[in-house]
Amino acid sequence: MGVHVFDFADIQPVVDSFCEKIPRLLAEHSVTADLVSRVVNLGEQASSPFTVAVVGQMRVGKSSLINALLEKDLAQTGVTETTATINWIRHGDDPSVVRVHWKEKPAELIHREALQDWSGDSSKAANTRFIELFDDAAFLKVASIVDTPGLRSVIDSHEHATNEFLGMKCDSESRQLGSQADAIVYVLMPVAREKDDAFLATFCDQTQLPGSSSFNSLAVLHKWETLESDDQVTAGNEKAQRIAKALGESVSCVIPVSAPLARAAQCLDASHWDSLVRLAATPENILTDDLLWSDADFVDEHSECTLSSSEREELLGLGLPWPSLKLIITLAFREKPSDGESLRELVNATGRIGFLRSELDRRFFARSRSLKLLSTVAKAWEPCRLAEIRLRNKRKDVGDLLVSSEGLLAVLQDRIQAGDDDLSDVRRYVSTTQDALRREHKSLTSVLQQISHEASTLKSIYEDFSGDLAGLEWLGSDAAKPLSEPLHNLMGRLFGRSGVSAVDRAPRMAEGDAEMIDAIERNLDLVTDARTRSKGEAKQILGHAAERLEQLANHYENIEQESR
């Protein structure tokens, strides 16, 4: 590619140009006309809001996790399969209405209360493509959320809906819908289940959508407080680390999160937190050996307990799952917070919804523009690649026909010269057909060259920015610790940590550098030397850093030449 792209603002014109040119080129020949639908709306997809899909097996608490993220009870929760459709939660001013997108009739607005008719195995759910819900939650100003039906559902149609959304079914409708998910939060329960691993392996290895990778997906170990352990916080962290190691590069990280703890911190009154602090002052033998044995034992009469049975019954009636309430009381007993507000802050931090939000922001939202454009580029490149294959095959067929026609014309000419004048019309027909074949061959060649050029440009952009994101991810891992601080900082700049323009990416000039090219060449030696001493992923990341430095050198050399 003649001009190297560093800034995301420079990608947009390339994508826009592609979206304008490629549909017309694909439509020129019947062998590629069916690919037009796969690129015609890419420009709109590139500018659409960022979207996060929350995915997991049934009853893992996806909806309660969403409610904790939003700090509102928007997603339906329950002990049964309440989420029977794909629910798209977007920013809007009127939460009292929802829009139902039917499979076989136009979309319509209904009152939110009517959604109870879509729970479980309902005929309405079976005939629904997806539902849009609206709210003014602050989180939704940054990104829309997609609440999906449970995988491994006991209701086949529910699992079918989620599989379609993720692109597991390769029909056009599901591919179009599934491609709209920019990031995936995979929700896991803290139980070792082989089927979870099997699902994720299948998703990543066989059906992962273009643009989806460890750069835009993470896993949540949900409701870890249900683990059997004397120290559930530590057990949850260790469990998350084991799962992260098992999943490898399939997801960017695994975070232990408890939506019930987070919602408790968000919703319980100050009086309830004060009561919990007072309860923690109960003698240990009464608290841990009797009251916390089970929810039934929790309300037993104990003269030494600092809360009455009725006050404990009120706490039990707050709607918190028993494991979550038990953990809160245990934390209060162990940490001895000074007051209810201190306990609330402790529980909020322990639930880690705030940490999940910060990781979503750091890993996804702060990169939303890059991920959106990379996703667009990846989706655009695939139909180009298919078109190239088809056009080459078609050009070969036309070329073979041209060769055959030459031989046929030679035979006809010999026959006509031998006196068989009746074949003159046949010769003219073959000659006219041959001219048409030459025009088609020329047209195929021209379209193939143009599409190949566009695909090559997009592929270069995709590889460069994918390499940047991979490099940033690697720099944040333990594998990058052996790097010297100057090299670590240099690579962070090259990969766009401080900004994505050429100026932001360029290495800092040192004393003795007459111009930027000198600084680039000096740092290129540093990167090249480190690369020769590295192996595996480190060698690959350093190789990408060297490529970025060479691109910057070309960029500044062009500027210097233009200024002369």
Query: Residues 454-487: pLDDT tens digits?
Result: 888 888 888 888 898 889 888 888 899 999 999 9
Encode burial over 207-243: b for 16+ CB neighbours within 10 A, e otherwise.
ebbbbbbbbbbbbbbbbbbbbeeeebbebbbebbeeb
Q: Higher pLDDT residue, 190 or 31? A: 31
Residue 232 carries which side chain, given as an amino acid letter? Q
CB atoms within 10 A of CB 456: 13
Q: Rounded distance, CA 362 to CA 356, Å?
A: 10
Q: Rounded distance, CA 234 to CA 220, Å?
A: 16
The predicted structure's pLDDT at residue 181: 62
Q: What is the pLDDT of residues 424-442, one digit of tens each?
A: 888 888 889 999 999 999 9
Please choose, from the candidates 150, 104, 107, the residue with its C-alpha nearest in 3D space to the C-alpha of residue 127.
104
Average pLDDT, integer, range 393-414: 90
Average pLDDT, integer, range 7-13: 77
Confidence of residue 154 (pLDDT cuts 50, 70, 90): very low
- What is residue 365's DSSP assignment? G
Q: Rounded distance, CA 50 to CA 127, Å?
A: 27
- What is residue 99's DSSP assignment? E
Reported as type and span, the H/E element at residue 152 is none
Angle at 411 between CA 407 and CA 415, to 5 degrees: 165
The predicted structure's pLDDT at residue 80: 44
Sign of CA dihedral 246, 251, 255, 260: negative
Whether pLDDT at 38 is above 90: no
Whether pLDDT at 50 is above 70: yes
Whether pLDDT at 19 is above 70: yes
How do 144-147 and 51-56 pair as beta strands?
A: parallel
Whether pLDDT at 207 is above 50: no
Query: Residue written as tokens 């540093």?
Result: 526
Tokens of 230: 């004397």
The predicted structure's pLDDT at residue 395: 95
In angstroms, how far is CA 59 from the centroid of its own chain? 22
- What is the chain's alpha carbon radius of gyration, rounded to the nearest angstrom? 31
The predicted structure's pLDDT at residue 103: 86
Q: Rounded to the nearest 10 degrees, how much is the dihedral formed by the CA atoms of 37, 40, 43, 49? A: -30
Q: At 445, phi and psi to the nearest 5?
A: -65, -45
Q: What is the pLDDT of residues 265-304, one digit of tens each?
A: 999 999 999 999 999 999 999 998 899 999 999 999 998 9
Map residue 445 onto helix, strand or coil: helix
Cβ neighbors of 170 (< 8 A, separation 6 or more) are none
CB atoms within 10 A of CB 449: 12
Report the chain's mean pLDDT, rounded to a whole number. 82
**What percentage of residues in the chain have a pLDDT greater than 70?**
82
Q: HSE on the CB side for 5, CA within 13 Å? A: 24
The predicted structure's pLDDT at residue 522: 92
Residue 384 carries which side chain, given as an amino acid letter? C
The predicted structure's pLDDT at residue 198: 57
Cβ neighbors of 226 (< 8 A, separation 6 or more) are 189, 190, 323
The arrangement of strands across the sheet holding 97-102 comes to 108-111, 97-102, 128-135, 87-91, 144-147, 51-56, 183-188, 217-222, 254-257
Whether pLDDT at 202 is above 60: no
The predicted structure's pLDDT at residue 48: 61
Phi-psi region for residue 430, left (φ > 0), alpha (ψ -120 to 50) or beta?
A: alpha
Q: Higher pLDDT residue, 285 or 380? A: 285
Q: Rounded distance, CA 164 to CA 177, Å?
A: 8
The predicted structure's pLDDT at residue 200: 52
Q: Rounded distance, CA 383 to CA 390, Å?
A: 10
Q: What is the pLDDT of residues 101-128, one digit of tens each?
A: 898 889 899 998 888 777 655 678 778 8
Task: Note the pTM of the prediction, 2 decimals.
Answer: 0.61
Whether pLDDT at 157 is above 60: no
The predicted structure's pLDDT at residue 396: 96
Question: 301 near 238, Cβ under 8 Å?
Answer: no
Q: Rounded distance, CA 401 to CA 219, Å?
A: 55
The predicted structure's pLDDT at residue 234: 94
Q: Rounded distance, CA 319 to CA 259, Å?
A: 13
Cβ neighbors of 213 (< 8 A, separation 6 or more) are none
The predicted structure's pLDDT at residue 172: 35
The predicted structure's pLDDT at residue 5: 85
In angstroms, how far is CA 350 from the centroid of its own chain? 26
Please choose, from the candidates 235, 231, 211, the residue with its C-alpha nearest in 3D space to the C-alpha of residue 367.
211
Query: Residue written as tokens 């706490």?
Result: 315
Q: Rounded distance, CA 225 to CA 231, Å?
A: 9
Q: Rounded distance, CA 55 to CA 266, Å?
A: 24
- How many angstroms separate the Cα of 507 from the Cα of each of 487, 491, 518? 10, 9, 10
Q: Rounded distance, CA 200 to CA 243, Å?
A: 12
- How many angstroms separate the Cα of 161 from the Cα of each of 86, 143, 331, 542? 7, 22, 40, 42
Q: What is the pLDDT of residues 348-365, one digit of tens each?
A: 999 999 999 888 877 676
Q: Rounded distance, CA 464 to CA 466, Å?
A: 6
Q: DSSP E strands: which ranges in 199-325?
A: 217-222, 254-257
Cβ neighbors of 561 (< 8 A, separation 6 or more) are none
Whether pLDDT at 413 is above 80: yes
Best-predicted range by mean pLDDT (70-79, 188-197, 394-403): 394-403
Question: 133 near 98, Cβ under 8 Å?
Answer: yes
